C-alpha cells in the first residue's frame, strides 16, 4: 500500500500544482499565438451571431476536455508518486469494483451528452434557413478570386464583400462562371469560403449549391480566405468582408449602382483606349465599355480596397506590377503575361490611372 500521512498529501498537492501550472502556461501561450501575425483571422474573436454560436460550443468543449486532461494528468502523477516502489511495501492485486466501474462509465456519458446537446443545437441552427429579409448575395469562387453578386441590387463586384451590420446576410456559394446568355457553367474547382471572425468554412463546389448565413454584430473589415486547396495560387485567394453601418452601406450601394463617369481628361481617355488595345475587354466588364465575363467585373474597381484576389493593395504601383506580369504575383493566374508589353510606359500609366478612376 502507499505511503500514508503528510507525504501523500504533499505529493498530491505538488502534482496537481504542476499540472495546473503547465496547463495555464499552454493555454495562455496558445491564446496569444492565435492573435499574432495573422491579421485578426482568429475564430477566438467572433463578430457575428453564428460565429459566436460556434465559439460557445468550442469554449464548452475546451473547458470540459481541459478538466478531463487536468484530472487525468493530476491523478496519474499523484498515483505514480503515492504508489511508487518503497521498502517494506507489497504489491496487492485487486479485481472488480462495481461502484468504480459504474462511476467511470457514468461520468464520460454525462460529458459526452453535455457536449452533444449544444453541438447538435448549433448545427441545426447554422444549417437552417436564413432569417426573413436577409441580404441575398451570390459568392462565386474562381481560380483565384471571389466574386460577389447582389441580385436584387444589380451589383457585381469582387474581393470586397460589403454588407450592413445587424442584418442577416444569406450567401449562395457557387463555383464556375456566368455565361453571356445568363446561364451558369460549372467550370471551376472546389474552393472554401472562410471568414474566421464571421463564419465558415464551407466548401464552394462546382455543380452543387451551398449556403451560409450570419448576422454581423460589429462594423469593420474582416479578412477572409479560401480554405480548400484549389491550385497553384490557393494561398493567394483572399477577400475582405466590410461591415458597414446601414447609412454607409446604402451609400456604397448607390455608388455601385451608378455607372462610372466617362474619362474626364486626356490621360483617362488614353487609359480607356489602352484598356481596349491591351485586350482587357475580352475578359473584364466595365459598364458602358465592355462585357467580358471571365475575370472580375471592373466597373468600380477603383473603389476596392484590394486587387488580385485580395493579394495586393489597390495602389497604382501594385496595379501596374499586377497587369505587367500577373504570373509573378499569382503563379498560374488565368490573366496572361505580356498583355501590356506592346504599350508605352505612358500608356500603361494611363491604363492604371483609368482603372483607378473607376470608383
Ligand atoms: Cu480557392 Cu483555395
If you measure from the C-alpha of residue 189 to the centroid of ligand 1, how many angstroms do you get, rounded to a whole number?
Answer: 8
pLDDT at 103: 92
Write the pLDDT tens digit of every residue in 131-173. Answer: 999 999 999 999 999 999 999 999 999 999 999 999 999 999 9
What are the pLDDT digits (tens) for 303-324? 999 999 999 999 999 999 999 9
Identify the residue whose cell numbers are 456566368: 178
Identify the bridge partners of residue 291 per DSSP, sorted by sequence position.
285
Give me the percent of the chain exceeding a pLDDT of 90: 84
218, burial (CB in 10 Å: exposed 0-12, middle 13-18, buried 19+) = middle
pLDDT level of residue 231 (50, 70, 90 thresholds): very high
Phi, then psi, of 205 in degrees rounded to 5: -110, 135
pLDDT-derived band at 235 (thresholds 50, 70, 90) equals: very high
pTM: 0.83
pLDDT-based confidence at 213, cuts 50/70/90? very high
Residue 193 near ligand 1, beta carbon < 6 Å: no
Mean pLDDT, residues 188-204 = 94
Centre of ligand 1 to C-alpha 222, Å, is 18
User: Does ligand 1 lie within 6 Å of residue 340's CB atom?
Assistant: no
Helix (H, G, I), strand (E, B) or coil at 158: strand
Candidate from 22-31, 71-80, 219-228 with smallest mean pLDDT: 22-31
Q: Which atom of ligand 1 is closest in space to residue 237's alpha carbon?
A: 1
Per-state percent for the chain, helix, strand, coil, to nearest 5: 40, 20, 35
Cα 312–Cα 299–Cα 292 angle in degrees, nearest 5: 95
Rounded to the nearest whole angstrom, what is the distance from the C-alpha of residue 141 to the centroid of ligand 1?
8
Q: How far is the CA of 212 from the centre of ligand 1 (A)?
A: 17
Instruction: Note the residue count of the chain.
Output: 359
pLDDT tens-place string over residues 33-86: 655 444 567 888 899 999 999 999 999 999 999 999 999 999 999 999 988 888
Task: Give the chain's mean pLDDT.
Answer: 92
Neighbouring-strand partners of residue 142? 145
Residue pair 288/297 in contact by the 8 Å Cβ criterion: no
Phi first, then psi, for residue 185 (nearest 5°) are -110, 130
Amino acid at each position: 500500500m502507499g505511503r500514508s500521512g503528510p507525504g501523500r498529501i504533499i505529493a498530491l498537492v505538488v502534482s496537481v500544482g504542476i499540472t495546473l501550472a503547465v496547463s495555464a502556461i499552454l493555454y495562455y501561450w496558445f491564446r496569444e499565438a492565435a492573435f499574432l501575425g495573422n491579421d485578426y483571422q482568429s475564430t477566438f474573436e467572433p463578430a457575428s451571431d453564428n460565429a459566436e454560436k460556434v465559439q460557445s460550443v468550442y469554449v464548452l468543449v475546451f473547458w470540459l476536455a481541459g478538466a478531463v486532461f487536468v484530472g487525468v494528468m493530476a491523478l496519474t502523477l499523484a498515483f505514480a508518486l503515492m504508489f511508487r516502489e518503497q521498502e517494506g511495501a507489497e504489491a496487492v492485486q485487486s479485481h472488480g469494483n462495481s461502484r468504480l466501474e459504474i462511476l467511470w462509465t457514468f461520468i464520460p456519458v454525462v460529458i459526452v451528452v453535455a457536449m452533444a446537446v449544444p453541438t447538435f443545437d448549433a448545427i441545426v441552427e447554422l444549417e437552417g434557413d436564413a432569417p426573413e429579409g436577409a441580404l441575398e448575395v451570390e459568392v462565386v469562387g474562381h481560380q483565384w478570386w471571389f466574386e460577389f453578386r447582389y441580385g436584387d441590387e444589380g451589383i457585381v463586384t469582387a474581393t470586397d464583400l460589403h454588407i450592413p451590420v445587424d442584418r442577416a446576410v444569406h450567401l449562395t456559394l457557387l463555383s464556375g462562371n456566368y455565361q453571356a446568355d445568363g446561364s451558369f457553367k460549372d467550370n471551376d474547382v472546389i474552393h472554401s469560403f472562410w471568414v474566421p471572425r464571421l463564419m465558415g468554412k464551407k466548401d464552394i463546389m462546382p455543380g452543387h449549391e451551398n449556403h451560409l448565413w450570419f448576422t454581423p454584430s460589429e462594423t469593420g473589415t474582416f479578412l477572409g480566405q479560401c480554405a480548400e486547396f484549389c491550385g497553384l495560387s490557393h494561398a493567394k485567394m483572399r477577400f475582405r468582408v466590410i461591415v458597414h453601418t446601414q447609412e454607409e452601406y446604402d451609400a456604397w450601394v448607390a455608388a455601385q449602382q451608378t455607372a462610372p463617369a466617362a474619362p474626364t481628361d486626356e490621360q483617362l481617355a488614353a487609359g480607356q483606349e489602352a484598356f481596349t488595345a491591351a485586350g482587357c475587354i475580352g475578359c473584364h466588364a466595365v459598364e458602358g465599355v465592355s462585357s467580358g465575363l471571365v475575370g472580375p467585373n471592373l466597373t468600380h474597381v477603383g473603389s476596392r480596397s484590394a486587387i488580385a484576389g485580395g493579394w495586393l493593395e489597390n495602389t497604382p504601383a501594385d496595379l501596374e506590377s499586377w497587369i505587367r506580369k500577373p504570373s509573378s504575383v499569382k503563379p498560374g493566374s488565368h490573366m496572361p503575361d505580356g498583355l501590356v508589353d506592346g504599350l508605352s510606359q505612358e500608356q500603361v500609366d494611363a491604363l492604371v490611372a483609368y482603372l483607378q478612376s473607376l470608383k
